[in-house]
Amino acid sequence: MPELPEVETIKRDLLKNLKNKTIKDIKIKVPKMVNFRVKKFQSLVKGAKIKNITRRAKLLIFELSNDWYLLVHLKLTGQLIYREKNGILKAVGGHPIKQDLTKLPNKFSHVVFTFSDNSHLFFNDVRKFGYAKLLKKEELDELLKKNYGPEPLSQEFSLNKFKEILKKRPNWKIKQLLLDQKLIAGIGNIYADESLFCARIDPRRIASKVKESEIKKLHACIKKILKLSIAKRGTSANNYVDAYGRQGSMVPCLKVYGSHKKPCRKCKAEISKIKLAGRGTHFCGRCQK
């Protein structure tokens, strides 16, 4: 699934294409992916205009003209594909795409929007973990406040803030802490591993035992890597495609993720892969202490 940089990329590309478009129709083939009964959901969305699209953590937020907010989470395998009336794909983003995108909708197109200019937005999701939720402003604000920590690229995420966050979970393993959306928003498995490699910290280290100088390094690394990845239009280890059908170019920049048994880029030792907090975890046992 896309992490922060991928979702940010999709957001930017969708905004260019969808701003001020009116939703003429919506088809929902998997009712559990939306938060109202299908007919109700459709009636709430139909006729609304997309005023803006923003991102928070790994969530996309479509701000509608009728005071509803459409919250989209792609989870592991969601994709958003925007196609013009003439069939040209203008925005493709999310999970690795192996399907033939010239044939849409396909069997994974569970939610499909049609706009008044007869363009379409396909929400595909192989595993059906993703969702589209309609919320009122107050509900949205509450949900975001309750479930998500600071944006790692915001001013709010200062070095001091990061230190405070580490102190909240002194006994947690450092990687586990980076992955917790309530503590820091938007970091997923790939960027957690890459940030820790960048900072030369073993992912198994206990938060309270990480030295001040290392915390400073890690803080800088998180920002650096997320920024780099956004500039590269995201990663996705397999065949992630961005909003214009181009592959995210972060892949060659990854130093440990997906490099199991390959030589470390820095010291040539073999990259290890272990399970930590239930997630595949890649690191260099020689570089990361």
Q: Which residues are catalytic?
A: 2-3, 58, 279
For residue 249, state whether it binds DNA (rule: CB under 7 A): no
- Residue 2 interacts with DNA (CB under 7 A)? yes
Name which of 45, 46, 50 is nearest 60 in CA terms: 50
CA–CA gap between residue 10 and residue 13 (Å, rounded) = 5
Cis before 105? omega within 30:
yes
**Least CB distance from residue 86 to DNA, whole Å?**
28
Residue entry with tokens 């929007």: 113
Contact between 75 and DNA per CB under 7 A? yes
In the bound state with DNA, the residue whose beta carbon lies nearer, of 154 and 208, is 208
How many residues sit close enough to DNA to count as binding (CB under 7 A)?
A: 37
Binder to DNA among 41, 188, 210, 233 (CB under 7 A)?
188
Largest CA-CA distance found in the chain, in angstroms, rounded: 59
Q: Which stretch binds DNA (CB under 7 A): 81-89, 92-100, 133-141, 154-162?
A: 92-100
Of the candidate spans 13-21, 185-193, 210-218, 263-271, the one that interacts with DNA by CB under 7 A turns out to be 185-193
- Check residue 233 for interaction with DNA (CB under 7 A): no
Binding of DNA by 205 (CB under 7 A): no
Q: Is 145 in the site for DNA (CB under 7 A)?
A: no
- Angstrom CA distances, 130 to 52, 122, 133, 239, stand at 21, 13, 10, 19
Burial class (CB in 10 A: 0-12, 13-18, 19+), 118: exposed
In a 13 Å sphere around the CA of 28, the CA atoms on its Cβ side amount to: 19
Contact flag: residue 171 with DNA (CB under 7 A) = yes
198: amino acid identity, one letter: C
Least separation in angstroms between residue 196's CB and DNA is 14
Q: Does 96 participate in binding DNA (rule CB under 7 A)? A: yes
Whole-angstrom Cα distance, residue 30 to residue 38?
A: 9
Binding site for DNA (CB under 7 A): 1-3, 6, 32, 57-58, 73, 75-76, 95-96, 98, 107, 126-129, 147, 171-172, 179, 181, 188-190, 235-238, 240, 273, 275, 277-280
